[in-house]
Amino acid sequence: MFPCILKQVTKNRTAVKRGYSTFKEVEKNSTSVTEMIKNELSLLKDGNIESTDRPAEKLLSTKESRETSIEPSVDYVKTLNQSTVRDYTGVYPYVKQGSVFASSINESDFLKELLKLGVNFYELERNLETIPFILGLRFEDVKDHIIFLRELGLEKHIIGQIITKNPFIFKEDLENLNVRVNYLQYKKFTNNMILRILEKNPNWLSYSTQDIDNKLGFFQNNFNLSGDEVRFLTVRCPKLITYNPEKIKLNIFVLKEEMGLLQEEMKKVILKKPKIFMNGQKRLLNTFDYLHNTMKIPIETIVEIPEILTCRQSRLKQRHLFLEKLGRAQYNPKKPNYVALASLVADSDSNFATELAKSSITVYNEFLKSL
Amino acid sequence: MVAQNAAAMWNALRGIVCVYKPAEASVRKLRRDLIMKICKGLNEVDENQYYRPFKPHTSNATELIQQSVDRSVDLRDHPLVYGPKFDELDLSLSWSNFLGWNTSGVLLFGLRSGTQSARYIRENRSSRAYRIKGVFGQATDTGFKNGKVVERSTWRHIKPFHFDKILSAMQAAHQKKMFEMSGIDMQSQLAYELAAQGPIRPINSKLPIIYGIKCIDYEGPEFTLEIQCINEYETYLVGLIHEIGVRLHSTAHCTAIKCIRHSYFNLDHALLSRHWDLKNILQNIRMCNRILAENEHVLKQTSIALR
């Protein structure tokens, strides 16, 4: 395991305990919310629909967002059934993405505040669960979270991006967030490193300290990484750490058993190009198959330049066949007229045709149409 | 030449676009990519301009009007709230000829009101030309090179002479079938007049008919055929290669199928997926519309004769 200290775990536990206490507070709050809903529903019944500044659907969604911590009160459900108010949450899948928030942005000061941060509501609406959640929040609920992120040193627009990608960060308890950042500091991540992690992986703070510790330990054990190397990997590709572990295990299997890489070679690959472990298993194998069996590139070279594994097989095929037709498919650096594999993969088509193949882009276009 | 205004560009996006389909990609994926690229291009043209009316399902809305909105008062149209102005659902796009997974070559898409033209082209059964590569000596379970080899045989006895003989026999059989499929009594005056016009199209859209088949290249076990046909589909062409192999007392499988011509559209007109940007697509639409205007019978057939 990544040198996980017991003290840290206990700290996390206390945080969970504290979390309970705050949950209770939420419960208190929510009873007041149900009362509020009752009041407003009675207003609606009386026919003062226009006088209520909050539409009923928002209130319902307010209720829904709290359901994670409490059971819906029977009274509330009764009033809902008796009244003529409709639950609009079922409509969301059928309206155009972006139109739910568009319909309420002019009225809601909270949404306007989020817009000032640069939150992309269109993206938020992609996940239908976020609609009732966000509409049910008030600015007071999230103010502290935003101040917390700002105090960490994140730029305003980056906070907006984080909220866009992970709105459920507002569900997390503030003290838990603090513990999670403390954990990183404790593991000797510098402030800039932490900022980069949070920017590149907005979901990071939604994972508990225990989870993150396990995940870091998983990478350290599987690739024999030192503490510094774990930190390097985490900062290089923060998304990899919280990526689906099953898929990573599958890709480790692909590299180790199907491609036959050694333990040290795996380590080299993950430090040079961590993204490979997030690629699809089939795609990875297809590319490797073409590189190794058709282009006859030895595994040692692939380990040295792992970015060629991220290239799509079809693209590799097009370029290799073109070079082969011109008689330039020579990938051994020790022989003359060698073609650099890294630029074979990375270059744009026009650059490839003129610089690497010493031909012209029109010839290459013709060639592509002859495939 | 190309308008610098998204509304004008949107209004110009009508008609047929001719694209190049690579092998091992589905037509559905190409369609999705093309829609995505067009919408992305339109959204980047003038980011700060608003267009009305813009409601869900505007696919049938004819014209877009440029309109200025005070963003400080009305936030509903803010790009972060309403999302991209040109939604991928708003752009209707359909193909006029369907090419299978392993087939590459000319593919016609109809954009917006051009979907109607795409339908007419399909229903009018225009002829297509294919270039098919195959190999003698091995039969695979799918008939294509990606299948498992199930049978091996000798092929050295096959000479170009045998090859041509069998192909011309096939062509003759198909020409006979062509007249049978027209549904006319072969002994009548009408049948004579039709035959005098040259090849005719089948009455049914389900029956593949080959008008011309010839070997253009035969080296070692590898050969290339060029086929002019109607109503064909990928598995039919694969089966055809298999049949040729069997008739030559050997076995054969396909290695590549390429559509080189679809009615009047050929590979020179086809856009490579790398060139799918607004400027090239609009140019291509204009060019295709010109071809359609020059050859009216592609959209409106009056005669059974093949043209």
Q: Is pLDDT at A77 greater than 50 in this prediction?
A: no
Q: What are B87-112's pLDDT values in tens digits?
A: 888 889 999 989 999 999 999 999 98
The confidence band for A129, taking pLDDT boundaries of 50, 70 and 90, is confident
Q: Which residues in chain B have Cβ-Cβ distances shorter than 8 Å to A110?
A: none
From B271, which residue of chain A is nearest by alpha-carbon distance? Answer: A369
Contacts of A324 (CB under 8 A, 6+ apart): none
**Hey, is A222 helix, strand or coil?**
helix
Q: Which residues in chain B have Cβ-Cβ distances shorter than 8 Å to A282?
A: none
Q: What are A287-324's pLDDT values in tens digits?
A: 999 999 999 999 999 999 999 999 999 999 999 999 99
**What ipTM was predicted for this assembly?**
0.84
Cβ(B214)–Cβ(B225) below 8 Å: yes
Q: Is pLDDT at A61 greater than 70 in this prediction?
A: no
Selecting from B78, B89, B272 the residue whose C-beta is nearest the C-beta of A368 gives B272
pLDDT of residue B11: 84
pLDDT of residue B16: 94
Instruction: Say which CATH class B128-262 falls into.
Output: alpha beta
Contacts of A340 (CB under 8 A, 6+ apart): A333, A356
* Yes or no, beta carbons of A105 and B83 under 8 Å apart: no
Q: Rounded to whole angstroms, how far apart are CA atoms B54 and B32? A: 22
Q: What are A27-46's pLDDT values in tens digits?
A: 333 344 444 444 444 444 44
Tell me the nearest-neighbour CA distance from A179 into chain B, angstroms.
32
* Yes or no, beta carbons of A97 and B83 under 8 Å apart: yes
pLDDT of residue B47: 65
Overall average pLDDT of the A235-254 stretch: 94
Q: What are A190-213's pLDDT values in tens digits?
A: 999 999 999 999 999 999 999 999
Q: Which two tokens stand for residue A126?
A: 């992609």
From B83, which residue of chain A is nearest by alpha-carbon distance? Answer: A122
* Yes or no, beta carbons of B81 and A96 under 8 Å apart: no
* Yes or no, beta carbons of A106 and B75 under 8 Å apart: yes
Segments making up each domain of chain B, as ranges: 6-124+266-298, 128-262
Tokens 């200025």: give the residue.
B68
Tell me the nearest-neighbour CA distance from A256 into chain B, angstroms.
26
pLDDT of residue A48: 38
* Yes or no, beta carbons of B274 and A349 under 8 Å apart: yes
Angle at B241 between CA B245 and CA B219, to 5 degrees: 70
Regions of chain B where pLDDT drops below 50: 1-2, 53-63
pLDDT more than 70, % of chain A: 75
Q: Is pLDDT at A52 greater than 50 in this prediction?
A: no
pLDDT of residue A88: 61
Q: Rounded to whole angstroms, how far apart are CA atoms B143 and A154? A: 59
Q: Which residues in chain B have Cβ-Cβ distances shorter than 8 Å to A120?
A: 80
pLDDT of residue A337: 85
A109 part of contact set with chain B, CB < 8 Å: no
pLDDT of residue A104: 82
From B76, which residue of chain A is nearest by alpha-carbon distance? Answer: A102
Q: Which one is predicted more confidently, A326 or B201? A: A326
Tell me the nearest-neighbour CA distance from B185 into chain A, angstroms.
44
pLDDT of residue A45: 42
Output the CA–CA distances (angstroms, integers) from residue B114 to B3, B15, B16, B110, B117, in the order listed.
Answer: 20, 4, 6, 4, 5
pLDDT of residue B202: 82
pLDDT of residue B35: 94
Q: Rounded to whole angstroms, how far apart are CA atoms A12 and B196? A: 91
Q: Is pLDDT at A55 greater than 90 in this prediction?
A: no
